[in-house]
Amino acid sequence: MKYPLSVCHFLYSAICNLVSKLCPRVEKFRCKIFHNLYSQLLFLAIIVNFIKHCSEYRFLLLTFIMSQENTEISAKFSTLNVNAMEFVPSFCQQERTSAVTTENNEENRSEITTPVADNDPLDSWDVEDEPVLPLEDEEAEDGEDADGESDVAPKQSKKKPQKIEENKSKKEHVNVVFIGHVDAGKSTIGGQIMSLTGMVDKRTLEKYEREAREKSRESWYLSWALDTNQEERDKGKTVEVGRAYFETDKKHFTILDAPGHKSFVPNMIGGAAQADVAVLVISARKGEFETGFDRGGQTREHAMLAKTAGVKHLIVLVNKMDDPTVNWNENRYNECRDKILPYLKKLGFNPTKDLTFMPCSGLTGQGIREPIDPSLCPWYTGHAFIPFIDDLPSLGRKTDGPFIMPIVDKYKDMGTVVMGKVESGCAKKGQNLLVMPNRTQVSVDQLWSDDDEVTAVGPGENVKIKLKGIEEEDVSPGFVLCDASNPIKIGKIFDAQVVILEHKSIICAGYSAVMHIHCAAEEITVKALICLVDKKTGEKSRSRPRFVKQDQVAIMRIECSGLICLEQFKLFPQMGRFTLRDENKTIAIGKVLKVIE
């Protein structure tokens, strides 16, 4: 019989008490500093060794363990590693096999011609031709085509994985990223959602509220449900991509809380790249909206990056409508909407299909789960946020393509565990896969979808996979876990169509920048400029340009500093779109046309 780590802690306490009664002399070797797990396991091993040589004590101990086998364990341990899978005490294995029967749970892509730009450089990211392989998800007609990936490690869930769910009917999995300028209220809205859906209990919220009050930050307590880092709580600013989840009757939602500060835009890119739906949070408070939307604010850049990442729908939440400077004023709401709408249309969002505006208050919860109280806001009669995203059309993901999962993060926990979002295909326990670009063959040992251990995962799910056959130090974020019989392409040199968004000087051969593509961040160099592309007609210039500048579209040859996993955009948009950043600014967006070598 196998015992999880919580049982191991329980046995540790039980053995200590039992041995101290049976043999007080042994108790003096138990030091009070045995607070970490490894010290406790070492002490447990010493006690087991002692008991092995004393049949009387051994018999009493095993009798005690068997009598406690079905007892619920409620003790909490502050140093418990919740991601660890299980610990199997050897003496339990040896003795229980004779008394209890154990259960055994066994369980070349063709190249394409270079596409030309459409009338709008940002609208040209739609896939018009049929893909050669059934890899990508169903594309949107007027917007971006597919999901993206993350180059940043999301915060790990602190909840212990539940039991394996085999026959549970799966709901559609939707990833929602909250983006926007710093202090717009993204984390507070996320915490309010967790509270209203019952994912954070009342006692925990009361604890957060008490601790926030002690720091004179009463209004921050809801954000602490997602900002678990002490630095984030002290400064009131999200640094890493926070992660949480909730369910409705129809769907399973994963919340990705992206940082809003300009210093952490690479982290935000990672969150946006994983999303199906983006929620742009803007503050209606006097002065805050203008600060975020004007040049230098992050509202514009975040909206542009979300469009580039391929989100299906953008919801604009006008937050802080309860602020005394606003007080649910309709004119202020219309002012914020009218200022940002032209910019979003310029990015390529369709106001009738891709965009939705909603007023809300993240602090009070008005407009989040239930409609806004008519006495507060009689002029808005639309949906609340959660019912609206619950009624969004199905994403229509395909499960028959080869398995592809860009690796967001990895850690070592009695084996190598990798995290990421499944972009294509399915994987199951025991399946053989390939880690690219180092071509390491691995097998799937265990699977988790959010906090539930499962036997299979499908596209759109955020998962953890425990692998056999590879060490943790041999895996890096940006690697891709894929089907062994149909591996993803790897390359170092490729041709791409690039739109220069914002760059003061000219760009010519030899220019270097940092490229963010799915979960990878890699330094690149422009090897050659091939041609310019006319924005309106899509016509390519006959002569090679000497340079390109802001607002121009060019086809160029790019060389990476190392091998990366990538695909032609037309074949697999999720693995073929990228952004270029330089001097802490997003200067260009691009799509892979052809992998050269």
Per-residue pLDDT reduced to its tens digit, 141-171: 333 333 333 333 444 443 334 344 443 457 8
Instruction: Give me the sheet containing 172-179, strands edge to edge.
Output: 242-247, 251-257, 172-179, 277-283, 313-319, 355-359
Residue 210 CB neighbour total at 10 angstroms: 10
Measured between alpha carbons, how far is 410 from 505 in angstroms, rounded to an integer? 39
323 and 470 together in one domain: no
Residue 75, classed as helix, strand or coil, is coil
Rg (CA), the chain: 27
Q: What angle do CA 192, 149, 352 make, to 5 degrees?
A: 65
pLDDT recorded at residue 13: 65
246 and 386 together in one domain: yes
190 and 309 together in one domain: yes
More confident call, 379 vs 19: 379
Measured between alpha carbons, how far is 483 from 439 in angstroms, rounded to an integer? 11
Structural domain includes residue 395: no
Q: Which one-letter amino acid corresponds to residue 458?
A: G
Structural domain includes residue 105: no
> Is the peptide bond between 487 and the residue preceding it cis, with omega within 30 degrees of 0?
no
User: Is residue 158 classed exposed, middle or buried when 0-12, 13-18 and 19+ CB atoms within 10 A define those classes?
Assistant: exposed
Q: What percent of the chain has pLDDT over 70?
A: 68
Structural domain includes residue 67: yes
Of 301, 296, 295, 250, give the one whose Cα is nearest residue 272.
Answer: 301
CATH of the domain at 284: 3.40.50.300
What are the angstrom distances between the C-alpha of 16 and each of 71, 81, 116?
A: 18, 21, 73
Measured between alpha carbons, how far is 424 from 575 in angstroms, rounded to an integer? 11
Q: What is the mean pLDDT of residues 377-395?
A: 91
Q: In this structure, are residues 491 and 587 in contact, taking their beta carbons and an 8 Å threshold?
A: no
Q: Which helix (H) or strand (E) holds 300?
A: helix 299-309
Average of per-residue pLDDT values in the chain: 75
Where among 39, 74, 99 does a domain terminate? 99
515-568 pLDDT, tens per residue?
Answer: 999 888 999 999 999 999 998 888 999 999 999 999 999 999 999 999 999 999
What is the span of the domain harbouring residue 371? 172-198+238-390
Lowest mean pLDDT among 51-55, 167-171, 412-416: 51-55
312 and 183 together in one domain: yes
507 and 479 together in one domain: no
189 and 330 together in one domain: yes
Residue 392 CB neighbour total at 10 angstroms: 17
List the structure tokens of 7.
Answer: 């049982």
Q: What is the mean pLDDT of residues 174-181?
A: 90
Residue 497 gets which letter from DSSP?
E
Cα 242 to the center of its chain, rounded Å: 8
Measured between alpha carbons, how far is 386 from 381 in angstroms, rounded to an integer? 15
pLDDT of 484 above 80: yes
pLDDT recorded at residue 80: 34
pLDDT of 409 above 70: yes
Where among 390, 413, 433 does a domain terminate? 390
Structural domain includes residue 137: no
Which conformational region is residue 310 in: left (phi greater than 0), alpha (psi within -120 to 50 degrees), or beta? left
Where among 99, 126, 161 does a domain terminate? 99
> Is the dihedral angle over the CA atoms 86, 90, 92, 93 positive or is it negative?
positive
Structural domain includes residue 163: no
Of 262, 345, 354, give the one whose Cα is nearest residue 315.
Answer: 354
pLDDT of 84 above 70: no
pLDDT recorded at residue 321: 94
Contacts of 33 (CB under 8 A, 6+ apart): 39
Which conformational region is residue 396 in: left (phi greater than 0), alpha (psi within -120 to 50 degrees), or beta? left
Structural domain includes residue 133: no
Q: Which one-letter amino acid corresponds to residue 244?
A: A
211-261 pLDDT, tens per residue?
Answer: 777 776 666 667 766 666 665 556 665 667 778 888 888 899 988 888 877
Tally of domains in the chain = 4
528 and 559 together in one domain: yes
367 and 418 together in one domain: no
pLDDT recorded at residue 108: 39
342 and 431 together in one domain: no
Structural domain includes residue 112: no
Q: What percent of the chain has pLDDT over 90?
A: 36
254 and 329 together in one domain: yes
pTM of the model: 0.68
pLDDT of 440 above 90: yes
478 and 502 together in one domain: no
Measured between alpha carbons, how far is 1 from 21 in angstroms, rounded to an integer? 27
192 and 284 together in one domain: yes
416-437 pLDDT, tens per residue?
Answer: 999 888 999 999 999 999 999 9
Q: In this structure, are residues 318 and 284 in contact, taking their beta carbons and an 8 Å threshold?
A: yes
Q: Which one-letter amino acid corresponds to residue 381?
A: T
List the structure tokens of 182.
Answer: 């710093």
pLDDT recorded at residue 342: 92
pLDDT of 24 above 50: no
Q: What is the mean pLDDT of residues 317-331?
A: 93
Structural domain includes residue 302: yes
- Interhelix angle 90-99/55-67, nearest 10 degrees: 70
